[in-house]
Structure 1
């Protein structure tokens, strides 16, 4: 058998596996990942929500951060970056305080009479339809578990009926998923509503709040099968800190984003999502920066965000306006500290100078992702380098899917 004949036979034998790899692991979607998702109870959402969060966040920064030096002292920021971090955080809070907003009809809203939730769904949809204020936005419905199934679908139906146009930034959150069949059911619901209202394909994210999502009764990691079942509609996996921890019997005082059970769940989520184009988001901390505990809560939140970033999880939840200064401070410091080395290594990989590292294609793609994420969230200003140079090189280094 000639070499050509041998390779032809291999192509035949591996055709199904090749097709499955392409279908299941589509690679980077080439879209921006928000650094956070802000959950606002549906009854508190109105046309002023984003502006109010901006104002409250800036007020908290003024009162408890004061100046770049004071803010740096609270968070132990490095002196050479303190001014940059402070100035960029303040600018971000004015320009784009919320990157991803979710109108919450689930835990943050609670169980209410049908007529009350109906009215809230219609009102929220009309506010959102009046004008887009954040890059990403959407709603979290109640779960497809039997007790809340009808209410969740009813809210989604009313919301979409009154929303009108849908863009690529619109995302639905499906909470407390316990089975692959629920993901398949969600796809069916979306297909039905799309047909009914003439909508483009709708996207949703899976909230991992139950042990069943991580380990099924058959011993398999169901979250991987959930991603496959949702196909290109699934955009993200969001870790639910407190529901998940409570489900495993962790006492309330020890429920945290850094508890070992949380790390295990997120490790499985990252493995399942790798190569699929599905974003992974960490959860939240319920220690709020209010009253006399603002500085302690800020230090905790800042540390937890930094920890997630170092673990390769670039998104998390924020539940209070005063968490925004530390969300952006932690994120911006992460990119500012690593930018010079990442840029130097990326340029060297693409043939422009030496970096002292022998980087392989996968690492070059990670370096490119780091640079682009820093640019997209505002940590790195394009005026600080030749945008036609580094940004272009970064995009070149990301493999085509």
Structure 2
């Protein structure tokens, strides 16, 4: 054995634990599409017709005001119209937290069962959004018991009615400690057993709405430890614009997705989630596109700007709270991906096939270019045929370049 072989063996043994820890903590892409938004609907207002109603309302408001938006690209507008008709909501959350409020147990129990029955029916007939689930009340002491009761009832009904699918996710709000995440893992394990659900299949998102999630009393970024405490069940980190801003003393008039405290929180979230396979979502704007035409257009301009800003910062998801926000969500999202399509495709073509290019792209940049184009395809902004024509690669190669691993 040469001295180099001996040295390699010694280093491999010395770094074995670190190698294993890196693989376990940072598995990378988990092989699934990220929705562009999460729509919140109060639990007692959700039924089997909700998605169709949102589609109709969004399409109507777009038809009423599209002519006033003179800077719209006709191709983007046509694509958005088609999206609103075919898949208006990518991710639906039936809300039993702030959107529902505190009500007598009997009332919430009845609403939970009705919502679970309705969701199950849409899962069975294929009309449910590709991603869907429930937001329960937090695991803070005053609401913990009610949150667990709601989750138990909801899961029990879904399991009984055949309503649990791959797109199901639970949202845990106002997380203030690593221990709450550990408790959620314990609860999900127990509920899987109780309702005959496949072990380890239930997943959840952490809502970052409190300063404790960003900076713990020991000076550490607790959100990173929360991801680890999730034991592989955490799928997303969702920023809560208004709860978080209010917790830091930001006056109501200045609470916004673009306030400096919001940017700081989301920067920490992005760093904590990088390489873990956990998605990051921005929050919402509470300025709704309702009222007279000027008010609608002003709200759309604000929402579009905020959505575009998040996309440019590498945050590809946000919250929508009203059907009239869907047009501006998709108009901004589609414009973002289409505006960058030709350049990204040309750089990918040069990277894969060679040829003249003003860019010397490295593998990491090629992965980012491919991920950008793939996101455009997945949300409907870009057609697969366009990618083959512009970049000279098919979707399988695009996913390979984006380092999209095949979901198990």
In structure 2, distance between residues paired with 1:386 and 1:334: 20
> Relative to structure 2, which stretch is displaced further, 95-104 or 356-365?
356-365
Q: TM-score under structure 2 normalisation?
A: 0.94
Paired residue for 1:396?
Answer: 400
User: What does 1:154-303 align with in structure 2 at a 5 Å threshold?
Assistant: 154-164=149-159, 165=162, 166-200=164-198, 201-292=201-292, 293-303=295-305
Paired residue for 1:85?
Answer: 76
In structure 1, distance between residues paired with 2:110 and 2:404: 45
Shift of 1:398: 2.8
Deviations, residues 160-197 of structure 1 (Å, cap 9, x unaligned):
11112322100000000000000000000000000111
Paired residue for 1:381?
Answer: 383
Deviations, residues 41-68 of structure 1 (Å, cap 9, x unaligned):
00100011000000000110011224xx
Shift of 1:400: 6.7
RMSD: 1.3
Question: Does the 8 Å contact 1:371/1:391 carry over to 2?
Answer: no
User: What does 1:15-94 align with in structure 2 at a 5 Å threshold?
Assistant: 15-66=16-67, 70-71=68-69, 73=70, 76-77=71-72, 82-94=73-85
- Segments of structure 2 that go 5 or more residues without pairing to the other structure are none
Question: Does the 8 Å contact 2:76/2:331 carry over to 1?
Answer: yes
- Segments of structure 1 that go 5 or more residues without pairing to the other structure are none
Paired residue for 2:316?
Answer: 314
Paired residue for 1:96?
Answer: 87
Shift of 1:355: 2.5
Q: TM-score under structure 1 normalisation?
A: 0.95
Shift of 1:385: 4.2
Deviations, residues 250-297 of structure 1 (Å, cap 9, x unaligned):
000000000000000000000000000000000000000000211110
Question: Does the 8 Å contact 1:350/1:393 carry over to 2?
Answer: no
Give the aligned length.
Answer: 391
Shift of 1:203: 0.4
Question: Does the 8 Å contact 1:343/1:390 carry over to 2?
Answer: no
